[in-house]
Structure 1
Amino acid sequence: MATIHRDAYGVPHVRAATVLDLAHGQGRAIAADRPTQLGLLRHRVLQGPLARRTGTADLARRAFARLRPETAAFVSAYVDGVNAVLDDPWEPWLPLAVHRAHHLLFGNLTSKLWATRARQVLGDDARLLAREGPLTSGSNAWAVGGARTASGLPLVGGDPHRTLESPSIYLQVRLTCDELDVTGFAFAGVPGVQHFGHAGDVAWAITNAMADYEDVYAETLRRTAGGVEALGPDGWEPAEEGDGWLRTRRGPVFAGSVAEGRGLSLRTPSAVLEDLGFDSFLPLMRSRTAVDVLSALDGWVEPVNNVVAADRGGDVRYRVAGRVPRRADANRRGVVPATDPAAAWDGWLERLPAHEVPPDGQVVTANERRGPESDAIGTDFAPPHRAERVRALLDGRTDLTAADFAAIHADTLLLQAPVFQDLLRSVPPDPAGVRDAILAWDGRMDVDSSGAAAFAAWRGALARRVAAQPVLAPLDEPIVTDPQTGPVLAPWLTLAGRVALALESLVRAGRPCGIDLPTLATEALADAAGHPATWGETHVVRPEGDPVPPFPLGGDIDCVRCTSSVPGVTDACARASVARYVWDLADRDAGGWVVPFGAADHGDHRVDQLPHWTAVELV
């Protein structure tokens, strides 16, 4: 039987003799701490429109049936622990479904839908609106070898960026039994420590590799006396129907219907392999070296991740983990016809990027394009700004400490600020002095900065004026009209949001799509007159779920301190670091961690970490 101790922030420390007792204890702890969240997750998996249409529950059942016996027992023990507390029982496959649901929009599904429509409207100019970068998910992670630290042993740090939810998507936990001792983050409803952990002798972190591993197919559908059929490369094929879902040989149909005679299907590695990667969890937590960590992830499927690992022996390593299909380049660029034989998958890429980091070296990954090695796995990567800034903060340092790594999280320099300032130099001053305030600004998105407030107000006004241009008007029409999944996908397919994300690229283009940017920039200065006194007045925490105090924030979407808003739509922050951590291989206690709100969804620990998270402090 496991014992559960909670620290000053309510973080559960679970101790047991065996792995199965440990999993049971972790399940009991999360059910006690986040019962409301677990209920919402269960509902999202079983009743959420996108989860239902993509057959998430069905895939989870099939993947659970294929687990190794040890993994299945581990997951089942966790669920037994959850059910020992909750009245509404979980099925053993539900943790797999929860994990899958968290990553439904991690791939390029929405980007491919947008790219296809943009090319129809703009032709070659569509590339100007194809800002690279994660729309829902991103991360920073970095590590240095022992020759770069004060202790002589490696350091690992980072933070994942996702939509802010209250309570947070991640929870902190320490899991200890006879064969493992891991401190790290877990998803509510998923056993073990999945993405960021410190196991005493080794620590690891991940970021989204921005790989292109899923495809969208345009399907033709019909109903016959024998059931539903879809038109494939060789003619009409039988399709499968389930409770709220329809699956062709390509994948589940997430938009459209048989009644319409058409739809869009999604093909993913996890569905093809009936594997959600859970067999990696126990080997990962049992790891003792960086090599162990990377080897544990040999069987990882999706999302495809950059993995950074370091150990007390001084070894620091990097790899991309996951499955990337081999297929035609057209699949990577947009929606492809289900009838095209060239759009079929042809196995998997066998060699994904990996390298060792020397003792005096460093590795930084922030969803950016990492040179030619990235072109083999994807098409859309984050701008290089966060990665470049972290490298600059690490370069030349040979005395780094855990405190230095923690300070990196707080950096607010916006590296693309000069691009916008150059545009403003080409226009005349405005009576309110907004132009001069932005040109005098130091480029830091600090919470108390008046220059950042002026810039944000002008940038938002510019984004609105660009989005209102007639040449872009057709892109303001709904792309997915399905009454169930259209509203779910709409936030990632709006013209205003896409213009906001692409604004830097549009400014660099000079006259994108024939748009007179200097004139719009001048008009936007007038719009920005009377802007807030500081950036923090409007850039506040606004998560989904339970309301929390509207704490003011520094940072911006492309700062190391990633606190995303949608310029031109809102300055409020709904996407940011959902966890921060520093793992010190010389002394586990010297590092730290924090989540945006708290360990529980009720009581004293619901938001007790929010002041620390807002101040960019670890606990």
Structure 2
Amino acid sequence: MKVRRDDWGIPHLWADDADQLAFLQGRVTATDRAWQIEVERLRSEGRLAAVLGPAELPWDRFARRVRLDDTARRCFARLAPATRRWVAAYVDGVNAALRSVDAPEFAATGHRPDRWRPWTPLGVFLVQHALFGTFPHKLWRADLAAALGDTELFATAGSGSNAWAVAGPPAVLAGDPHRLLELPGVYQQVGLACPEFDVIGLAFPGVPGVPHFGHAGGVAWGITNAMADYQDLYREDLRRDGGTVSARGPAGWEPVAVHVEHIAVRDGATEPVEVVETARGPVVDVDRRTGEALSLRTPSRVEAALGFDALLPLLRARSTGDVVDALRCWVEPVNSVLVADTTGDVCELVAGLVPVRDERCRREPVPAWESRYAWQGYARMPSEPVAGVAVHANDRRPAVAPLGVDFAPPHRARRIRELVSTGTPAGSIHTDTQVPVSRDLLAAAEVTGPAADLRDRLLSWDGRMAASSVAAGSYARWRSALVRRLHDHPALAALRGPSAYDELFAPWTDPLGRIGIALESVVAGLGPAVCGPLAAAALEDTAAEPARAWGATHVLAPIQAVPDGAPTVGLDGDTDCVLATSSVPGVSDACWRGPVARWVWDLGDRSASRWIVPFGASGRPGDPHYADQLPLWAAGELVPVAG
């Protein structure tokens, strides 16, 4: 077994077979990212509060209730024998390194890493995606319906991932997944080679292989969130009789599995958590308005599968058809996939399981006792050849529209197509900062004096959200002022009551944040009679403040389990740009969600492929490769794959 590190500290691994390579990948991952993967393991088991204290209780309660660790164990047990052996080899490598690794966070917390169990990688993968789907949006819509009734005011969802394919020849794939900007980063650049295959790609620390983004020489692939709706919430009527619990189902009262777990809390009392699972799924919350329990039904729990049996075939793929075949067993999350090979075969597909059921299930929690809300199998996933250009940007494309409800606005997809059509290089597409400006609303604002001057400057501005741009900073402040005034307006006053759901879901149920994310939709729904005066008042608010460049407040704000002087920098881009360095208008200009990697896969010459991550290959503060890619990432540059 051999490890070669390039100039950026990125590991390129060689072993004599796939299982030895998995062991080596696990060992190197634990060496480079020991604290990070220990945190993810603790999250998967709902035990992080024991190390970091009461602030982690909301997550730990959720992890126990939703049965993350048990789902991982069940999914591992159902893997094909070869996959199970391969995953276990990765775990053996992790455990071999954990015996001697060190990191300053271990000293700071007084914690030492525990041994991984064979199914821990599946639990780590579940941690990354448990809240990645649609069910938190259904909690928001339930709050919204309780406050405003049936409304389409909030018709768009926020997301920012991009991927595109140009058929060539030779074909080029490129993209930039957007997630929470965590430090260390959520993706790990790696090269994996053995006599069977030679792949470069982006791995999840703690998970073997390269599930989402890879280049195997003859074929390459990349994904975005398909925005499909594959998680359902059911309102459960529970009946307690002594020590037994029953739930009202379509055929009457049904037995319910119940037990109590205890969460240890650093510097706090142990907290008991009742874990309840009905025939629909685990109970994850209670509606404080109705008293009903809410159970969560997901394909991974129902089928005891995540799709890990696809991971080895992906590494062994030689053609577009091989990748398509490998992903037939993918379960969740549901992804839009672009694939291309060196023969010129380019394909776009959707991978995963989306249940067929009543349309109401897509929008809100539904009564568990009504049979019409039961699942009726799974939808057929589309797969089509690409002759020219394909663009995926979390938008409502014909292929995915029947599969979901909450999609991103079409701006990014349109802009990428425009840039591709003009021959713009992939790296420049990644960093495009053009934002759709609310010119009609600005132009109609009846203001005088400094506010009128500001309006005129914004109307003549080029719409580029550059960190150095004072106009971009003024536009962002006007937009935030408008969001806050909308939040305070009587038309939306009913939203300001408390949410009926757990604090863990506040990022989805906070009305101020939701107005900021769906501002375009809210303005269109309320109309000019309401929004015109508010836009004018927001101009007055903004004109009264000192002008500042966008980068003065739009700064990188990565998430750390143990905050430790994270590097920061003013950023180009904005939520609706292709360079979707997201913030939440009205809440904060800080960027905590954005491109967690950028990649360009060249099918004519793999060595010409390029990539970048926000920080670096190492997860250890003080290491030369802890954040050495940050200046290039912030500047929109890429580095060679050196594979």
1:185-244 Cα offsets, whole Å, 9 max, x none, are 011100111100000111100011111111111112232246222111122111113444
Q: For residues 510 and 478 of structure 1, do their structure 2 counterparts lie closer, same or farther at Cα, with a shift above 3 Å needed?
A: closer
Aligned to 2:486: 466
Aligned to 1:457: 477
Aligned to 1:344: 374
SS of alignment partner, residue 142 of structure 1: strand
Q: In 2, are the aligned partners of 1:157 and 1:405 still within 8 Å (CA)?
A: yes
Aligned to 1:590: 608
Q: For residues 396 and 539 of structure 1, do their structure 2 counterparts lie closer, same or farther at Cα, with a shift above 3 Å needed?
A: closer
Q: In 2, are the aligned partners of 1:221 and 1:257 still within 8 Å (CA)?
A: no
1:351-386 Cα offsets, whole Å, 9 max, x none, are 22221012xx01111111113x43321122111111
SS of alignment partner, residue 616 of structure 2: coil
Q: Which residues in structure 2 correspond to 1:217-366 (within 5 Å)? A: 217-225=234-242, 227-242=244-259, 243=261, 244=273, 245-256=275-286, 262-349=292-379, 351-358=380-387, 361-366=388-393
Amino acid at match of 1:368: D
Amino acid at match of 1:102: Q
Aligned to 2:228: 211
Pick from 131, 141, 162: which aligns with 1:140? 162
1:20-52 Cα offsets, whole Å, 9 max, x none, are 100000001010001110111111111223222
Q: In 1, are the aligned partners of 2:286 and 2:293 still within 8 Å (CA)?
A: yes
Q: In 2, are the aligned partners of 1:180 and 1:286 still within 8 Å (CA)?
A: yes
State the TM-score, normalized to the length of structure 2.
0.89
TM-superposed CA distance for 1:114, in Å, is 1.2
1:512-547 Cα offsets, whole Å, 9 max, x none, are 8xx721111111112112244211111000011044
Using the TM superposition, name which of 199-208 and 442-451 deviates more. 442-451
SS of alignment partner, residue 345 of structure 1: coil
Amino acid at match of 1:541: L
Q: Which residues in structure 2 correspond to 1:44-83 (within 5 Å)? A: 44-47=43-46, 48-83=60-95
Q: In 2, are the aligned partners of 1:480 and 1:489 still within 8 Å (CA)?
A: no
TM-superposed CA distance for 1:561, in Å, is 0.4
Q: For residues 413 and 257 of structure 1, do their structure 2 counterparts lie closer, same or farther at Cα, with a shift above 3 Å needed?
A: closer
Q: In 2, are the aligned partners of 1:255 and 1:480 still within 8 Å (CA)?
A: no
5+ long unaligned stretches in structure 2: 47-59, 100-113, 262-272
TM-superposed CA distance for 1:12, in Å, is 0.9
Q: Aligned partners of 2:212 and 2:18: how far apart in 1?
A: 19
State the TM-score, normalized to the length of structure 1.
0.93
Q: In 1, are the aligned partners of 2:555 and 2:569 still within 8 Å (CA)?
A: yes
Q: Aligned partners of 2:185 and 2:509: how far apart in 1?
A: 25
TM-superposed CA distance for 1:584, in Å, is 0.4
1:477-513 Cα offsets, whole Å, 9 max, x none, are 33244xxxx121111110001100111112233528x
- Structure 2 residue 398 is the aligned partner of structure 1 residue 378: no
Q: Aligned partners of 2:415 and 2:313: how far apart in 1?
A: 34
Flag as ranges the 4+ runs of structure 1 deviating above 3 A: none
Aligned to 1:490: 506
Aligned to 1:405: 426
Q: In 2, are the aligned partners of 1:169 and 1:188 still within 8 Å (CA)?
A: yes
1:444-467 Cα offsets, whole Å, 9 max, x none, are 111111111110000000000001
SS of alignment partner, residue 162 of structure 1: strand
Pick from 460, 464, 467: which aligns with 1:440? 460
Amino acid at match of 2:431: A
- Structure 2 residue 543 is the aligned partner of structure 1 residue 516: no
Q: Which residues in structure 2 correspond to 1:169-188 (within 5 Å)? A: 169-188=186-205
Amino acid at match of 1:116: A
Q: In 2, are the aligned partners of 1:364 and 1:387 still within 8 Å (CA)?
A: yes
Amino acid at match of 2:184: P
TM-superposed CA distance for 1:560, in Å, is 0.5
1:136-172 Cα offsets, whole Å, 9 max, x none, are xx411001112xxxxx310000010001111111110
Using the TM superposition, name which of 59-68 and 376-385 deviates more. 376-385
Aligned to 1:149: none
Q: In 2, are the aligned partners of 1:222 and 1:261 still within 8 Å (CA)?
A: no
Q: How many residue pairs were aligned?
A: 590
Q: Aligned partners of 1:196 and 1:325: how far apart in 2?
A: 26
TM-superposed CA distance for 1:322, in Å, is 0.6
Q: For residues 269 and 531 of structure 1, do their structure 2 counterparts lie closer, same or farther at Cα, with a shift above 3 Å needed?
A: farther
Q: In 2, are the aligned partners of 1:480 and 1:490 still within 8 Å (CA)?
A: no
Q: Aligned partners of 2:547 and 2:206: how far apart in 1?
A: 41
CA RMSD of aligned residues (A): 1.7
Q: Aligned partners of 1:362 and 1:462: how far apart in 2?
A: 37
Aligned to 1:100: 126
TM-superposed CA distance for 1:409, in Å, is 0.5
Q: For residues 422 and 291 of structure 1, do their structure 2 counterparts lie closer, same or farther at Cα, with a shift above 3 Å needed?
A: same
Amino acid at match of 2:403: I
Q: Aligned partners of 2:241 and 2:427: how far apart in 1?
A: 61
Q: Aligned partners of 2:145 and 2:526: how far apart in 1?
A: 20
Q: For residues 604 and 269 of structure 1, do their structure 2 counterparts lie closer, same or farther at Cα, with a shift above 3 Å needed?
A: same
Q: In 2, are the aligned partners of 1:252 and 1:265 still within 8 Å (CA)?
A: yes
1:402-428 Cα offsets, whole Å, 9 max, x none, are xx11111010011x21xx121111123
Q: Aligned partners of 1:374 and 1:156: how far apart in 2?
A: 20
Percentage of pairs with the same residue: 50
Q: In 2, are the aligned partners of 1:548 and 1:607 still within 8 Å (CA)?
A: no
Q: Which residues in structure 2 correspond to 1:404-423 (within 5 Å)? A: 404-414=425-435, 416-417=436-437, 420-423=438-441
Q: For residues 169 and 430 of structure 1, do their structure 2 counterparts lie closer, same or farther at Cα, with a shift above 3 Å needed?
A: farther
Q: In 2, are the aligned partners of 1:453 and 1:531 still within 8 Å (CA)?
A: no
Q: Aligned partners of 1:334 and 1:507: how far apart in 2?
A: 23
Aligned to 2:498: 478
Amino acid at match of 2:537: E
Q: Aligned partners of 1:288 and 1:393: how far apart in 2?
A: 30
